[in-house]
């Protein structure tokens, strides 16, 4: 078991952003790895959970738990009220127009699959075309391939330049009368590129095509307003937002959600069932069959409260400064190359080291207590486009510090020394 | 895990920079390709086997240092050995790296009689995600034994899931 210690942190903040106070909220940051303080730079894979969210989960399980929408007893009504309140917190956080436009899923992957089944299988047929981009995570590729194979539809892919930026001219040229759907990643998990989705949505709409945005890497790092984006669907995960795993969100415009067929059949998604006919429930319940992850939803609500109290603008500013600092620092180390140099980037520093495989980098950094992700980041087409099998990826959260960036740089130099 | 940095320093300095038997055997009698799709590692092993003896072996490919060092040391260990002895070594190596046998336990150490210098890879067991890197060359070698000369193995064959005795 890792030991706990209290590490001192050099400050890197401007009021009202108090990094020491924020770090004190995250018990896991006291864990030691290999006898060294944890430097957690794998936030794009999953963010850590503050005590406030842990406490909320404990309070729910200790004093409020029962199944929702089922019984008239006190706990069931209380749990239902808390679950509904969590939905309203999500609605406010992303500025959805209506509460019923927020559907709880198990995560981004399930949210995208829900749209593929509920919308795609109903409205996309033989010869139709779906536009995605080179930057997609596998979760926004595979469902559409499954649909394309089943329906005889076709996938068209928006190319990127060497910096990892989507090519908008090429995007617009992909549209034709068979284009039926667009599904785009908001922020690239592998490279950190922030895509101009608002512009891309506006263009798709001018061609009468609905757009899903995979926001798994965007929502944790910037203020996202789904009405301002005017996206038709927006998907993201709770655990990348300091919430629990097993909970995610699909936002969808009410009219579209109503037009869709259900994704999963079962309890809670029906109004009445006979052996002859089932009448489906209204949205969002039509898409929430079975007992949902109630505790996780409430935990996500607490996480959104926590992030809102800090302020997404403050979070974005802190992370931007960290990314800039890290980019400058790593650029000064010969033999290290940053992969993904888009003008607009969020919180991700992907890099390769000359003659050293990323897995060796990751293993040796771990010896220094530094957690980075190595591999293809579930985005093999991005790796193929960049002509590399894998990268090492440091991804920052608002609780990371300049000192941790320095630790990463020292780690990179140590790896070079071993391989020298 | 503390030995891991030592493993890198000791083995990588040597075998990663100067891999032994790197390249391809001309007029090979046996050949197999190994892939680890998770990290993009790719390995090609060619052999010249006559009278059940490994007269020559070579490897090449793109891989991490653990995989490359494992392949390099493997070629040194099996060159000149009989195919049967090489199969025994494959089983011992896999048992050690996957943690089925522990060199620190006397009873189990006896079953790792042929490991020799390869014992340096025992520490990889502490890193489950890297075990595959270390064993890829050995699975590929085993696959090559059952290959037929001049037959391409660019098929669906996956050495990561190739059956390999009890190991």
Q: To the nearest whole angstrom, how far is the Cα of B133 from the nearest Cα of chain A?
A: 9
As a residue count, chain B comes to 167
CATH entry, A54-309, from 3.40.50.10490, 3.40.640.10, 3.90.1150.10, 3.40.50.1820: 3.40.640.10
Give pLDDT, residue A16: 65
Q: Which domains does chain B have, with CATH numbers?
A: 2-149 (3.90.1010.10)
Enumerate the residues of chain B whose CB falls inside 8 A of the CB of residue A360. 8, 12, 64-66
Which position among A378, A388, A403, A409 bears the catalytic label?
Answer: A378
Question: pLDDT digits over A55-64, tens only?
Answer: 999 999 999 9
Show which residues on chain A lie within 8 Å of chain B, measured between beta carbons: 34, 356-360, 363-364, 367, 374-376, 383, 389-390, 418-419
Domain boundaries, chain A: 19-37+311-419, 54-309
Most confident of A13-22, A45-54, B36-45: A45-54
Confidence of residue A2 (pLDDT cuts 50, 70, 90): very low
Whether B11 contacts chain A with CB within 8 A: no
| pLDDT at residue B153, rounded to an integer | 32
User: Would you call A378 a catalytic residue per the annotation?
Assistant: yes
pLDDT tens digits along A192-223 = 999 999 999 999 999 999 999 999 999 999 99
A8-22, A43-57, A347-361: segment of lowest average pLDDT: A8-22
User: CA A189, CA A395: separation in Å to the nearest integer?
Assistant: 9
d(CA A409, CA A415) in angstroms, rounded, equals: 10
Average pLDDT for A50-73:
94
pLDDT at position B164 is 38
The pLDDT of residue B3 is: 64
Res A277: pLDDT: 86
For position A339, what pLDDT does the model report? 97
Mean pLDDT of chain B: 84
Mean pLDDT confidence for B128-134: 88
- The tokens for B98 are 């996957």
Rg (alpha carbons) of chain A, rounded to whole number? 22
| B140 pLDDT higher than 70 | yes
Closest listed residue to residue A293, CA positions, set A115, A12, A105: A105
Fold of A19-37+311-419: 3.90.1150
How far B20 CA sits from the closest chain A CA (Å)? 17
Strand order in the sheet with A348-353: A336-338, A348-353, A391-395, A373-375
CB A395 within 8 A of CB A43: yes
Residue B80 reports pLDDT greater than 80: yes
Chain A CB within 8 Å of residue B35 CB: no
Give mean pLDDT, residues A371-384: 90
- Give A-chain residues touching B66 at CB under 8 angstroms: 359-360, 363
Q: Average pLDDT in the A259-271 region?
A: 89
**Does the pLDDT at position A334 exceed 90?**
yes
Nearest Cβ partner for A357 among B4, B9, B64: B64
Percent of chain B topping pLDDT 90: 56
B98 to chain A, closest Cα gap in Å: 17
């Amino acid at each position: 078991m890792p030991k706990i210690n209290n590490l001192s942190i050099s400050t890197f903040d401007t009021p009202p952003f108090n990094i020491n106070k924020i770090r004190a909220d995250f018990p896991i940051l006291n864990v030691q790895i290999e006898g060294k303080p944890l430097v957690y730079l794998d936030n794009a894979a999953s963010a850590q959970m503050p005590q406030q969210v842990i406490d909320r989960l404990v309070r729910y399980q200790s004093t409020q738990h029962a199944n929702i929408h089922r019984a008239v007893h006190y706990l069931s009504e209380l749990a239902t009220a808390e679950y509904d309140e969590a939905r309203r917190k999500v609605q406010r956080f992303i500025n959805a127009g209506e509460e019923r436009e927020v559907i709880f899923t198990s995560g981004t992957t399930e949210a995208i699959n829900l749209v593929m089944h509920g919308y795609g299988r109903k409205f996309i047929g033989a010869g139709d075309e779906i536009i995605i981009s080179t930057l997609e995570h596998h979760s926004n590729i595979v469902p559409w391939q499954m649909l394309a194979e089943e329906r005889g539809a076709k996938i068209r892919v928006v190319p990127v330049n060497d910096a990892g930026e989507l090519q908008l001219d090429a995007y617009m040229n992909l549209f034709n009368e068979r284009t039926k759907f667009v599904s785009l990643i908001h922020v690239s998990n592998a490279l950190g590129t922030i895509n101009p989705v608002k512009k891309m949505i506006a263009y798709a709409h001018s061609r009468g095509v609905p757009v899903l945005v995979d926001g798994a890497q965007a929502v944790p790092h910037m203020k996202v307003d789904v009405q301002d984006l005017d996206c038709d669907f927006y998907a993201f995960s709770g655990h990348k937002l300091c919430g629990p795993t097993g909970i995610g969100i699909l936002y969808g415009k009410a009219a579209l959600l109503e037009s869709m067929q259900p994704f999963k059949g079962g309890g809670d998604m029906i109004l009445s069932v006979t052996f002859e006919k089932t009448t489906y429930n209204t949205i969002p319940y039509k898409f929430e069959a079975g007992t949902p992850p109630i505790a996780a939803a409430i935990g996500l609500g607490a996480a959104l409260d926590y992030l809102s109290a800090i302020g997404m603008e403050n979070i974005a500013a802190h992370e931007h400064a960290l990314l800039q600092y890290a980019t400058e620092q790593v650029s000064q180390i010969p033999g290290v190359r940053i992969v993904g140099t888009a003008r607009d980037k969020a919180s991700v520093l992907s890099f390769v080291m000359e003659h050293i495989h990323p897995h060796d980098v990751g293993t040796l950094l771990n010896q220094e207590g530094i957690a980075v992700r190595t591999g293809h980041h579930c985005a093999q087409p991005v790796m193929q486009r960049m002509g590399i099998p894998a990268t090492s990826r440091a991804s920052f959260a608002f609780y990371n510090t300049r000192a941790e960036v320095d630790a990463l740089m020292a780690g990179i130099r140590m790896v070079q020394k071993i391989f020298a | 895990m503390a030995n891991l940095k030592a493993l890198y320093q000791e083995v990588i300095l040597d075998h990663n920079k100067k891999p032994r038997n790197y390249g391809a055997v001309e007029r090979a009698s046996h050949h197999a390709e190994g892939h680890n799709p998770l990290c993009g590692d790719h390995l090609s092993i060619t052999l010249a086997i006559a009278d059940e003896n490994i007269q020559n072996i070579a490897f090449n490919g793109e891989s991490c240092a653990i995989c490359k060092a494992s392949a390099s040391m493997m070629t040194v260990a099996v060159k000149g050995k009989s195919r049967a002895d090489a199969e025994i070594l494959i089983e011992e190596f896999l048992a050690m790296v996957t943690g089925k046998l522990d060199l620190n336990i006397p009873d189990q150490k006896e079953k790792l009689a042929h490991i020799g210098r390869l014992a340096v890879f025992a520490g990889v067991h502490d890193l489950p995600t890297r075990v595959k890197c270390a064993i890829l060359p050995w699975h590929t070698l085993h696959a090559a034994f059952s290959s037929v000369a001049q037959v391409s193995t660019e098929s669906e064959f996956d050495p990561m899931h190739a059956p390999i005795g009890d190991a």
